[in-house]
Structure 1
Amino acid sequence: MLSSFPLSAAANPSDLRELLRTTFGFPAFRANQEEVCVAAVAGRDLLLVMPTGAGKSLCYQLPALARGGTALVISPLIALMEDQASKLIALGLKVARIHSGMDRAASRQACADYLNGDLQFFFIAPERLRVPGFAEMLAKRSLSLIAIDEAHCISQWGHDFRPDYRMLGERLPELRRGNGEGQAAPVLALTATATPTVQADIVAQLGMPAPAKFIHGFRRDNLAIEVVEVPVPMRAAVICKFLKDASRRPAIVYAQSRKQAELLAEELSHVVRASAYHAGLDSAIRESVQRSFQQSEIDVVVATIAFGMGIDKADIRTVIHAGLPATVEGYYQEIGRAGRDGQASRTILMHSYADRRTHDFLLGRDYPPVADLDRVYRLLREEPRELDELRYESKLSDEAFEKAIEKLHIHGGARVDFNGNATVGGPGWKKTYGVQADYRREQLELVVRYVEGHGCRMSALVRHFGDVEDAAQPCGVCDACDPAGAVLCLFRRATPVERTQAQDVIESLRTATYKTIKQLMSDLSWAERVGRDDFEKLLAAMQRAGLLASEEAVFEKDGRVIPYRKISLTGAGLETRATTAIALLLSDGIAEEFAPASSSGSRKRKTGSNAGTSSGKTSGGGTAAPVELSGVSVALAAKLKEWRTSEAKRLRVPPFIVCHDRALNAVAAARPVNLRQLLDVDGIGPAKAEKFGEAILEICRSNP
């Protein structure tokens, strides 16, 4: 049995510092860690929102040791779980984990060690709580604490919403109580990506009535952020030229798709040591790339968002996004991998109208019209109906039907059993689905507003995460704060006409608390002639010069929340008169040294005509075509669906949670023989491949 560190002593900061030194080998806490650990050791429920690399893991690991006994760690990412477990084992601590990548014998041994009181840390995936009897087994022992990693996944607003996380609120009372011995286990919710809305939802879903909240450390003053409009066809050449300079490496380039990652890596490899990394690669290749990057054997990794969770490389000098990110939270987490050694580093975000079109297409695919869902909902009855029958009667395409029934199931409009039969659910699904779909659209709008913003880039990110007080301080090094210091972004001095126009803007605002951009353009006779884009560039230049302030705001109309910006004069703007010489720098595309020699694109203002996109397995505005199966493939599809039914029964979930018909038909047609080929199949993503890939491939190999 494990001994406990005396609670009364452990709550003493000096004793915690001693435990930090003797167990973890750290001479002192990092910023904000100590107060979190003290609260956890004292038994407080808490919510910790702290950026990647700031030391969140220690904030549950050290209190767990201080409180004694076994800490339960619930984590949705196998790679992250393995990384944390291996580091704790290396410290000589007693650790076990259970996830889908382990065999049954190892899982049984982990449970036995837990019940015997031999573990200090027990890592599980949230799906494990669905296994009959597992939660009851956990409740047979008292836990020292319960840590919920990546806690944003529990929220319906989280960008990585996981239905299995939703049951935690129901399970926690039983797990916290244990066998009734001693103090109830505190719950520690930890995440790097929770906005104030998500923070509130995490607290509500976990049933924490008065948790201690620690929202810390989002400012990274050593990161110089640049946001620049670059047409899709130009990006590879620009990135190659930018990263030729050895001082800008090591670097991570985030691509929009696996194909784009491989093409970019191929081009870069002619200039620097570069490799691609994405979930479609064999695990041995991924591990080799990650290890080579960690050991500085390669200089640049071109990756999808699958890369970076386990990376602890302090000297990354540049992070480039070769396209518009899906969320501000994800973007922040990715740029946060640069400059962890505290040295000056640079991040570049490339965007164009083509990126927005691609995201709009993906959003429309993932959140179909309410009319599609309603058409299926009206066919449901109290008595079970087969999904194939409903699909036929709905007259929707296979893809549209599968997405509609999945969303109805998630939002309670349909109940689907593991045999593939559906019954009618409650009528409230329209409201929750509509709210969720609107939130997803708002996520994209926030990214667009960020790239189109005129103020300090770092302050905008800090404000996004709810730290309003810290957001008031500009970083001084981004393209908005220091345009002269920008490397990729090109700026030019304002013309005499533009300086006169700036003076007109000042006079228009002088008598108002603020105006919207629409109001300003209406007031100024020349504004419509100039056009919205160039007018925005003038306002951005005035904001960089300290003459204007911009504040994000919203208003409601017809039940919709509509964002807008309040433009007002600063003190310097109020003091500016007609005789004042206004010095303005206007953005002017990309610096000539990085523009492709045969292109004048660096000077183009409109990039929407550059239609090249990298949208993954489907492109354009259409949907994937139905898969045509041969006689042999029909037989393989039937075998795959038999396996899916068995797996759905085992997991006690609807069949489409395991895999959609469309995806299984595509597998049968492609007949993949390895993981990379499987991941090339439309409808099979990294999560599906990780959970079910080996089983699917075995069926394909056994049925040639």
Structure 2
Amino acid sequence: MPSTVLDVSATPLDVLRTVFGYEEFRGDQAAIIDAVVGGEDALVLMPTGGGKSLCYQIPALVRSGTGVVISPLIALMQDQVDALSALGVRAGFLNSTQGFEQRRETERALLAGELDLLYLAPERLRVPETLALLQQAEVALFAIDEAHCVSQWGHDFRPDYLMLHVLGEQWPDVPRIALTATATRATATEITERLGLHDARSFVASFDRPNITYRVDPKDNPRNQLLRLIRAEHAGDAGIVYCLSRASVEQTAEFLVDNGIEALPYHAGLDNRTRAANQSRFLREDGLVMVATIAFGMGIDKPDVRFVAHLDLPKSVEGYYQETGRAGRDGLPSTAWLAYGLADVVQQRRLIDSSEGDAAHRRRLSAHLDAMLALCETVDCRRVQMLRYFGEESTPCGNCDTCLAPPDAWDGTVAAQKLLSAVVRLDQRGQRYGAGHVIDILVGKTTARVTQLGHESLTVFGVGEELDERAWRGVVRQLLAQGLLGVDASGYQTLHLVEASRAVLAGERQVMLRREPERKAGRSRTKTSGSAAAAAADLSPEDLTLFERLREWRAAVAKEQGVPAYVVFHDATLRAMATERPTSLDDLAGVSGVGAAKLERYGDGVLELLAPE
């Protein structure tokens, strides 16, 4: 049974225009959709905000039957269904949050052919009754979202994904489409193997997110740095702050609230009701900041997140890319900001050395970390470095910190030799110390500890006076990042030489280091506040007034309907309305993001607001 807003002969382009309100497909969307509509399997690697959802939603509306979407995003399924319902698409979900009656009604609608799309949590497929239910239904396709979760070496592994190969075995004639925004070539190969997608067509879009400005700042009281970032550049904006531990999440959220920033915590130690309530508020309200561990937000649908901040170093480039990709899904300017310092490198190296698993596992973790450290330490364009990690070559972006304020590269070989020599001299005495004490020796600082231990008598005492303590900490950090210095896995985090240190000491290896330039304070926003600032940045005063009126109207409608504001219209669509000022329903239908169902539901209200006074 076709969707309520479509005719049975609708083409993919008809669906794009009528249901979703967009005129043309982007990138590989048309080719992907044609392949799936034609019954082929597909593997799709496409960045967040690139339009992955349309690649299975449109085929589900064109093909006969119900599109079944396997997604780990249980907390977001209701919002996904609400967003589709607002477009006139018949959608439902089955997961552990539902009561018996809700599940039974969804199952009845599925078997009656009254659903265009059904969202399923992967663990539901462990239940034999679910497989039996799907066998009775007419399935148009299977979409496996967040497909990188099948990779056991990936950053977001989900054991339940390992059983999804059963879909191809039990429904060999139903096309499958696996999608992810985060996969290296190795991960893509693993997805293909584990899901049995050997004959699938592969589509790899550019991983570039040109609207995101990537920045890495030296860590120096990171909570205060975060506060300055929000106040100067993102006042009133929605944002996500990632921390490594639950305690840090709680403390950071409290710190922001105490300083006038509305913030909520999210981590696995909170009860389910609190987590769900906080996530719901973040999705539905404007200008909230969510402080979270990486448990939060995989695939988060909120389009107007204007910044993602990391107060601790991510473990991999994949994880960093996935998390920062939650910013600017609407294509408007956004910031990915990371505070990074020596303690991050020491901590991550120590965690790897003390981790469970065999040597191969630790080598894989080290490779992930090495790539992340290389991204942090690069003197070249960060975007080029990150895209190269995913197998994509590009040119300098002109929009990351290393492009906007290029750091100096300097020959740090002599400095590295001095520091490594200090470690050697201590080791010769059977002593190992952390970075702080070694630096005190190099700069000739006569602390009580240095004096007590007699370290002022070492030949390396005071040989590093040409650099200050902050600069020496940068040297230590970069030597650790380059694998030229080691740190013990014990709680003392003492420094020691590694095999590669010998070549530096012998003068056989040059060591290039980066010197970060002084950062300029961020500019305050003056035109408008809130998460619409990026959308309104270059609007005329008249258009800006109209844009704000549209946002107020949208907020009232969303509150009345109990849905996030973006379910009504995205900021980009409101911006287009404010600048194009349509005067009829036909004109309004031509605005990007206005489909048939939204035109019918909201058209008169929008035109009334846009009418000249």
**TM-score exceeds 0.5:** yes
| AA partner of residue 480 (structure 1) | T
1:245 matched to 2:229? The reply is no
1:166-224, Cα deviation, whole Å (9 max, x unpaired): 12213422123xxxxxxx21110011111111101111112122322121132122322
1:169 to 160, 165, 171: 165
2:207 pairs, out of 200, 210, 218, with: 218
Q: Which residue, 237, 253, 257 being the options, matches 1:265?
A: 253
Change in CA separation of 1:345 and 1:109 when aligned onto 2, cut-off 3 Å = closer
Structure 1 residues 178-577: aligned runs within 5 Å: 184-231=173-220, 234-246=221-233, 250=237, 251-279=239-267, 280-281=269-270, 286=275, 289-290=278-279, 293=282, 297-298=286-287, 300-309=289-298, 311-360=300-349, 362-363=351-352, 367-370=355-358, 435-467=360-392, 471-483=393-405
Alpha-carbon distance change, 289 to 140 in structure 1, aligned in 2, over 3 angstroms = closer
Deviation readout 1:319-378 (Å, 9 max, x if unpaired):
22111012212211222233445444332211223223433555567x5255xxxxxxxx
| Contact in 2 for aligned 1:64/1:144 (Cα 8 Å) | yes
Aligned equivalent of 1:587: 515
When the two structures are aligned, how many residues end up with a matched partner? Answer: 440
Amino acid at match of 1:453: T
* Cα offset, 1:154, TM superposition: 1.6
Partner in structure 1 of residue 153 of structure 2: 157
CA 1:222–1:115 in structure 2 vs 1: closer, same or farther (change >3 Å)? Answer: closer
Alpha-carbon shift at residue 437 of structure 1 (Å): 4.8
Match of 1:188, SS state, is strand
For 2:89 and 2:211, the matched residues in 1 are separated by 35
CA distance in 2, matches of 1:212, 1:460: 27
Letter aligned with residue 71 of structure 1: G
Are the aligned partners of 2:44 and 2:204 in contact in 1 as well (CA < 8 Å)? yes
Q: Structure 1 CA distance, aligned partners of 2:520 and 2:23?
A: 48
Higher relative contact order (CA 8 A, sep 6+): 2
1:299 offset after TM fit, Å?
A: 5.2
The match for 1:100 is: 96
Secondary structure of residue in 1 paired with 2:128: coil
* Mapped partners of 1:536, 1:46: distance in 2: 48
Q: State the secondary structure of the residue aligned to 1:205.
A: helix
Q: Which residue of 2 aligns with 1:579?
A: none
Per the TM alignment, residue 266 of structure 1 is displaced from its structure 2 partner at its CA by 2.5
Q: 1:187 to 1:351 in 2, by over 3 A?
A: same
Amino acid in structure 1 at the alignment position of 2:187? V
**For the residues of structure 1 that align with 2:132 and 2:274, how far apart are their CA atoms?**
40
Q: CA, structure 1 residues 44+273, in 2 after alignment: closer, same or farther (shift >3 Å)?
A: same
After TM superposition, the structure 1 stretch with the greater mean CA deviation from structure 2, 154-163 or 197-206, is 154-163
Structure 2 equivalent of residue 399 of structure 1 = none
Is the 8 Å Cα contact of residues 75 and 276 (structure 2) preserved in structure 1? no
Distance change in 2, residues 1:116/1:311 (3 Å)? closer
Q: Would the alpha carbon gap of residues 248 and 317 (structure 1) be closer, same or farther in structure 2, given more than 3 Å must change?
A: farther
CA deviation after TM superposition for structure 1 residue 61, in Å: 0.5
State the shift of 1:454 in Å: 2.7
Separation in 1, partners of 2:332, 2:90:
36
Give the distance between the partners of 1:493 and 1:197, measured in 2 at CA. 32
How far apart, CA to CA, are the structure 1 residues paired with 2:224 and 2:45? 38
Structure 1: how far apart are the matches of 2:344 and 2:513? Answer: 27
Q: CA deviation at 1:139?
A: 2.5
Aligned-partner Cα distance in 1 for 2:387–2:366: 21
Secondary structure of the structure 1 residue equivalent to 2:309: strand
Question: Do the aligned partners of residues 6 and 587 (structure 1) sit closer, same or farther apart at CA in structure 2, a change above 3 Å counting?
Answer: same
The 2-side partners of 1:52 and 1:272 are apart by: 31
Q: For residue 439 of structure 1, what is the amino acid of its counterpart? A: R
What is the match of residue 46 of structure 2? 50
CA contact (8 A) 1:6 1:67 kept: no
| SS of 1:269 mapped into structure 2 | helix
Q: Does 1:145 align with 2:141?
A: yes
Q: Which amino acid aligns with 2:387?
A: V
Contact 2:42 2:201 in 1 (8 A): yes
1:583-607 alpha-carbon deviations (Å, 9 max, x no partner): x99624764869xxxxxxxxxxxxx
Displacement of 1:23? 1.9
| Structure 1 counterpart SS, 2:380 | coil
Q: Give the fraction of aligned pairs with identical amino acids, expressed as a percent.
A: 38
Distance 1:94 1:358 in 2: 49
SS in 1 for 2:379: coil
CA shift digits 1:397-417 (9 cap, x unpaired): xxxxxxxxxxxxxxxxxxxxx
Q: Structure 1 residues 158, 212: CA separation in 2 closer, same or farther (over 3 Å shift)?
A: same
C-alpha separation between the residues in 2 aligned to 1:586 and 1:163? 41
SS in 2 for 1:101: coil
Q: Residue 152 of structure 2 aligns to a residue in which SS?
A: coil
Whether contact under 8 Å (1:277, 1:302) holds in the other structure is yes
Helix, strand or coil for the counterpart of 2:194?
A: helix
Corresponding letter in the other structure for 2:223: A
Cα distance in structure 1, aligned partners of 2:304 and 2:90: 32
Runs of at least 5 residues in structure 1 that lack an aligned partner in the other structure: 177-183, 371-433, 485-490, 502-527, 542-550, 553-561, 565-583, 595-704
Cα 1:291–1:144 shift into 2, 3 Å: closer
**For 1:289 and 1:174, how far apart are their aligned partners in 2?**
39
Are residues 171 and 337 of structure 1, via their aligned partners in 2, closer, same or farther at CA, if it must alter by over 3 Å?
Answer: closer
| SS of match in other structure, 2:44 | strand
Which letter maps to 1:261? V
Distance 1:209 1:284 in 2: 41
- Please give the alpha-carbon distance, in whole angstroms, between the structure 1 residues aligned to 2:282 and 2:109: 36
Please tell me the residue identity of whatever aligns with 1:267. F
Q: CA deviation at 1:66?
A: 0.7
Cα deviation for residue 292 of structure 1 reads 5.4
Q: Over residues 377-400 of structure 1, what are the superposed CA-to-partner deviations in whole Å (9 max), with x where a residue is unaligned?
A: xxxxxxxxxxxxxxxxxxxxxxxx
Shift in Å, 1:134 = 3.2
Q: TM-score, normalised by structure 1?
A: 0.55
State how 1:643-682 maps to structure 2 within 5 Å: none
1:253 partner SS: strand
Change in 2 beyond 3 A, CA 1:158/1:260: same
Secondary structure of 1:224's partner? strand
1:123 aligns with 2:119: yes
- SS of 2:164's partner is helix
- Inter-partner Cα distance in structure 2 for 1:563 and 1:52: 39
Give the conservation status (yes or no) of the 8 Å contact 2:3–2:88. no
Contact 1:142 1:185 in 2 (8 A): no
Aligned-partner residue type, residue 46 of structure 1: A
Look up the equivalent residue of 1:56 and give its one-letter code.
K
